[in-house]
Amino acid sequence: MPQQILLEVIVTNLEEALAAESAGADRLELIDNYPAGGTTPSEEIIQSVKKSVKIPVQVMVRPRAGDFYYSRAELEQMKDTIRLCRDTGVAGIVFGILTRDNRIDVDSSREMLYLAKGLSATFHAAFDQTPDQFQAVETLAQLGGIDRVLTMTLHNDTPEARKKVKEMVRIAGSRISIMPAIGATGVHVIDEIVRQTGVREIHIGRVVRTPHDYAGKIDPQKIRQIKRSTTPGGVVDF
């Protein structure tokens, strides 16, 4: 592996944030309602995590569980969250907005990005609901303001999934980063995944929890092992 890979870890509260940071996480994705795929955490949690950790914090901007087509009132709620994130000084936001037919909602996304100027922006796994993910990568790259795309394509690691992510990376080029979520089937071969796909960031969730469940506690040792595997010459051995 030619260079170290950035490791992002999902956390839901201050205790988890501190545990992940101490274990070597490079960035945190702060969410609430993990079983539903993540929603916006409370203002109190956002502020407490921001004040207590030194690594970048990306805050989920999602007003509810379910689909990613939002009403005007929900979009305004998302804007309020972005303003809070900007005022709190977190590193960035994580959001995803689709049209009724599950295509990237370019206009609404542009509104969010305008408010989020100065913040890093991740388009989350709503991306995986789009009918043509290669076209969605191009749309997001052209949109401007999106730094990375989170995809669950590699959550179940297969040769076909790796080929798909590799093509996403090719389409994205240097414009945006493709960040795959790595699950239990891929955690032992992260070095292979990186080498074959060309990704430079990975996203980790339940695989570093004991038990491997939404309610499981973050296991710092598992994060350390994965961190070693994302360092040149490192290996992971759960």
Q: Mind listing the pLDDT tens digit for each residue in 105-132?
A: 999 999 999 999 999 999 999 999 999 9
The 10s digit of each residue's pLDDT in 23-57 is 999 999 999 999 999 999 999 999 999 999 999 99
Residue 182 confidence (pLDDT) above 60: yes
3-state secondary structure of 163: helix
Output the average pLDDT for the chain: 94
What number is the average pLDDT over the span 130-139? Answer: 98
Residue 233 confidence (pLDDT) above 60: no
Of 3.40.50.720, 1.20.1250.20, 1.10.3720.10, 3.20.20.380, the CATH number of 6-229 is 3.20.20.380
pLDDT band at 4 (very low <50, low <70, confident <90, very high): confident
Phi then psi for residue 58, to 5 deg, are: -105, 125
What number is the average pLDDT over the span 203-210? Answer: 95
Whole-angstrom Cα distance, residue 156 to residue 182?
8
Which pLDDT value is given to residue 230?
Answer: 77
What's the Rg (C-alpha) of the chain? 17
User: Sign (positive/negative) of CA torsion 188, 174, 60, 105?
Assistant: negative
In the DSSP assignment, the letter for residue 34 is: G
Which pLDDT value is given to residue 2?
Answer: 46
In the DSSP assignment, the letter for residue 129 is: G
Task: Give the global pTM.
Answer: 0.95
Which pLDDT value is given to residue 1?
Answer: 39
Residue 20 confidence (pLDDT) above 60: yes
